[in-house]
Amino acid sequence: MTPLFPDHSRDPMERLARRRAHAKLGWYTHACVYVLVNLVLVAISAASGRNWAIFPALGWGLGLAIHGAVVFVLAGGTNLHERMVQAERERLSRGGRGG
């Protein structure tokens, strides 16, 4: 199976920038799915007359927060993906290693 954004570069900085941008794009996707699914759960919860939708939102929200911490704090292909790759490339070329 070929990756969504194949890495043909031998430059380690380019590979690192692409890997970081891909991780950030993955988090944005995760956040969008979280919002959409929880909106549906809130609608179902309200229709049933019970307020149970908070429980999956809190549990999944914790997972989303951990995912975000790993991507944006610990980690030291669309146009959005390319802009993110460029931003990471620029940060790395200035000597920055932080996320």
Evaluate whether 64 touches 31 at the Cβ level (below 8 Å): yes
Whether 48 maps to a domain, the answer reads: yes
Of the candidates 87, 34, 25, which has an alpha carbon nearest to the alpha carbon of residue 59? 34
| Number of domains, the chain | 1
User: What's the pLDDT tens digit per position in 14-48?
Assistant: 887 888 889 999 999 999 999 999 999 999 999 99
Asked if residue 4 belongs to a domain, the reply is no
Residues spanned by the domain of 84 = 12-93
Q: Is residue 60 part of a domain?
A: yes
pTM: 0.65
* Domain-located, residue 22: yes
> Does the residue 24 lie in any domain?
yes
Band of residue 76 on the pLDDT scale cut at 50, 70, 90: low
Whether residue 98 is contained in a domain is answered as: no
Mean pLDDT taken over the chain:
84
Residue 78, domain member (yes or no): yes
Does some domain include residue 1?
Answer: no
Instruction: Tell me the percentage of the chain whose pLDDT exceeds 70.
Output: 81
pLDDT score of 78: 44
If phi over 0 gives left and psi between -120 and 50 gives alpha, with beta otherwise, what is residue 3?
Answer: beta
